[in-house]
């Protein structure tokens, strides 16, 4: 989540964890906050997944002043599409196919308790790689995450192999969520959205994210000198920080 200061303005950055889950009370709070500041959201997922995560459907682009999907390679302002970037135009078809072929070969050698479908998701600004497959159930997602974090470090080893194979090719690899990681061109991390926001006459930009440690997909924007970064763990945590920062007294209290 990002908050922009124009007098104050806000922009939430949301990854697959869905910081703004489908909670009416939280939605009401952030719409109240929007009357004081500009709000926005940025995520690694495509727009349809962000809308699904927030439970708002097509209303998302109208409930936030800014929406940045796929690390900001797809940009909306005031409900309208600003611009869209394409990874194939940036890195070229040959390197793109080399990446896809390497990932398919590597995943073909991994033995997991379960494998499902959609192992590579092609997005405008990145490739999303999931060793278990994005079509796994919520229970299978948690099972894979526990194996990955505690025992096998599957994604970490996969990324290390990619970094060795594609060293010097201008690519970045970042972990996000529970079951996948992203591959994108250098510079196409979430800081892309700052290029738009810098031209908006804002006094400050506040960022709220959960993957803020090294290797996480919030790391670069969290540490960028143009933002004031906060690490958060839940939608409630985010809302609590916003209350402290932007309201003299909590909303709806006298």
Answer yes or no: is pLDDT of 57 > 90. Answer: no
What residues form the annotated binding site for Mg(2+)? 210, 222, 224, 227
Confidence of residue 178 (pLDDT cuts 50, 70, 90): very high
Torsion of CA 135, 91, 83, 121, to 10 degrees: 0
**Known binding-site residue numbers for alpha-D-mannose 1-phosphate:** 123, 134, 141, 180, 182
Binding-site members are 123, 134, 141, 180, 182, 210, 222, 224, 227
State both tokens at 69. Answer: 């999907």
Contact in structure between 158 and 137 (CB atoms under 8 Å):
no
Q: Choose between 53 and 60: higher pLDDT.
A: 60
Q: What is the pLDDT of residue 30?
A: 83
Q: What's the predicted TM-score (pTM) here?
A: 0.81
User: What distance lies between CA 163 and its chain's CA centroid?
Assistant: 21
- pLDDT of amino acid 250: 53
DSSP helix/strand/coil, 182: strand
Question: Which domains does the chain carry?
Answer: 2-85+189-246 (3.40.50.1000), 87-185 (3.30.1240.20)
Burial of 40 (0-12, 13-18, 19+ CB in 10 A): buried
Mean pLDDT of the chain: 86
């Amino acid at each position: 989540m990002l908050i922009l200061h124009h007098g104050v303005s806000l922009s939430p950055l949301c990854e697959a964890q869905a910081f703004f889950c489908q909670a009416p009370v939280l939605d009401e709070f952030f719409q109240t906050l929007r009357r004081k500041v500009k709000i926005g959201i940025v995520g690694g997922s495509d727009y349809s997944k962000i809308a699904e995560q927030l439970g708002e459907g097509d209303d998302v682009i109208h409930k936030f002043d800014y929406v940045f999907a796929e690390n900001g390679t797809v940009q909306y302002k005031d409900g309208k599409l600003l611009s869209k970037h394409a990874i194939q135009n940036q890195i070229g078809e040959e390197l793109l196919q080399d990446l896809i072929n390497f990932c398919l070969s590597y995943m073909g050698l991994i033995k997991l308790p379960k494998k499902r479908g959609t192992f590579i998701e092609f997005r405008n600004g990145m490739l999303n790689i999931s060793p278990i497959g994005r079509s796994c159930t919520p229970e299978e997602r948690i099972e894979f995450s526990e194996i990955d974090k505690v025992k096998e470090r599957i994604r970490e080893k996969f990324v290390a192999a990619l970094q060795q194979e594609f060293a010097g090719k201008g690519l970045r690899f970042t972990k996000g969520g529970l079951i996948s990681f992203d591959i994108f061109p250098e510079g196409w991390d979430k800081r892309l959205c700052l290029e738009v926001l810098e031209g908006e006459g804002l006094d400050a930009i506040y960022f709220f994210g959960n993957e803020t440690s090294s290797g996480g997909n919030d790391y670069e924007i969290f540490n960028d000198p143009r933002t004031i970064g906060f690490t958060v763990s839940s939608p409630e945590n985010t809302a609590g920080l916003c209350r402290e920062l932007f309201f003299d007294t909590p909303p709806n209290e006298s």
